[in-house]
Amino acid sequence: MQDFIHVKDVASVGEGKLVSVRGWVYRKREIGGKVFIVVRDSTGIVQAVVGKDNGDAFKKAEQLNIESSLVLRGYVKREPRAPGGFEIQVIDIPWSFVGWQFPINEDAAKADSEYLLDMRHLWVRSRRMQSVLKIRDTVFGAIHEWFRGNGYYEVQAPMFITSAVEGGSTLFEVNYFDSKAYLTQSSQFYLEALIFSLEKVYTVAPSFRAEKSRTRRHLTEFWHAEAEVAWAGLEDIFTVTENLISHVVKRVLERNLEELSILGRRTEPLENVKPPFPRVSYDEAIGILNRKGFDLKWGSDIGADEERALTLEFTQPIHLHHFPEQVKAFYHRNDPARPETTLSVDVLAPEGYGEVVGGGERIFDYDELVGKIRRFNLNPDDYQWYLDLRRYGSVPHAGFGLGVDRLVMWICGLDHIRDALPFPRDMRRLKP
């Protein structure tokens, strides 16, 4: 069996060594009786050159298209003009699949993002997408690493559910045999049930929202990292989220400097990310925003534009806390010291990105929860098993949900959330 090396290792093998690589044609040009092929694999790109004197390989090389696959063998040679400083002087091409003309060329790549979304199954091969995918891999890995390293059990919740967590307007309805069900908006209620068994739990799973507006930061299917902790309060959520996010960013800086550079991402804003994050109360935020010219009254929600303006005042992510009751879901615990506000927090990513986390303390008293469900014009019958958690051994508890795609979007410095994942789903897009 032939030994293959990855493209990134060609430079370290050393001049004069015979190597075999496998990959895809990234670029190709013919000059002066030679074919220059830039070969791409999962680790990078390397230049290979095939001379006319090498009849059989030359004929094969001439036929290759962009993204044709190939296996080649040749000698490593120092070549300062080649990417990485080395090239492969090809002696043979034991395998090539020429295929059709690749439908994405450089002009298409620049011109039309809708076209690239239609071609996403092929565009995932681009160096940009490849870099995002590698960073995304680090982010998911680091989330699991952090939770597992801090005493959390990983759990799984169902995706088919029967009642809303985050309000009825964004529920996806599905036919479920003879009845109807919904796709989950959040695993929170199930995590709340599981803390009575495991105390500290987390899950990383899809959540679904029938978001009818098309924005830069909303998907209809997104990846949600959620956690719930028994005997915990708002203060604990501040600490957990700032440590978790800082850990993820640190791992990306350790592992993905090359990918960040391919994406043209400045690393300085990421290097600033260290706990503790500044805390800004909703009241203070309204003050800051009013001074910046936003006509915002106490009690109104803080939207994307306001979040953007607010985050530009800080160099770190911020904890925006104590939202008014009416802008947060019914399960949020009201602050006994100021009942018109809730013990809630959103973490806003800097540089204008805004909300990446929502969470806080939950109502743990049965009567208080029933009262608030009614005050929100919801039906307590729809929440019977959730209310049970307040009937048997209820304890103060808190939790949060982190939008992983939004986190990746900010870390990568992307303009649009759909570029933070390989196969995005939004109002108008169900394929590829």
Q: Footprint of Mg ion on this chain (CB under 5 A)? A: 358
CB of 86 or CB of 383, closer to ligand 4AD: 383
CB of 73 or CB of 224, closer to ligand 4AD: 224
CB of 362 to ligand 4AD, least distance (A): 8
Report whether the peptide linkage leading into residue 103 is cis, meaning its omega lies within 30 degrees of zero: no
CB of 232 to ligand 4AD, least distance (A): 12
| Residue list 331-360, contact with ligand 4AD (CB under 6 A) | 355-359
Q: Side chain identity at 138, as an amino acid letter?
A: T
CB of 134 or CB of 217, closer to ligand 4AD: 217
Q: Which helix (H) or strand (E) holds 412?
A: helix 404-412
Cβ of 178: how many Cβ atoms within 10 Å? 5
Closest to 79 in 3D by CA, of 33, 46, 45: 46
CB of 50 or CB of 229, closer to ligand 4AD: 229
Q: Which does 166 bind (CB under 5 to 8 A by kind): ligand 4AD, Mg ion, none?
A: ligand 4AD
- Triad 126, 252, 267: Cα angle to 5°: 85
C-alpha gyration radius of the chain: 26
**How far apart are alpha carbons 224 and 246 in whole angstroms?**
17
Q: Which does 64 bind (CB under 5 to 8 A by kind): Mg ion, ligand 4AD, none?
A: none
Q: Which one of 67, 87, 166, 259 is in contact with ligand 4AD (CB under 6 A)?
A: 166
Give residue 322's region: left, alpha or beta (phi > 0; psi -120 to 50): left
**How far apart are alpha carbons 134 and 246 in whole angstroms?**
18
Give CA 383 to chain center in angstroms.
Answer: 31
Q: Which does 219 bind (CB under 5 to 8 A by kind): ligand 4AD, Mg ion, none?
A: ligand 4AD
Contact 404, 223 (CB under 8 A): yes
How many residues touch ligand 4AD (CB under 6 A)? 22
Q: Which one of 247, 322, 406, 418 is in contact with ligand 4AD (CB under 6 A)?
A: 406
Kindly list the residues in this chain that would bind ligand 4AD in the complex (CB under 6 A). 165-166, 186, 188, 209, 211, 218-219, 222, 224, 226, 355-359, 399-401, 403, 405-406
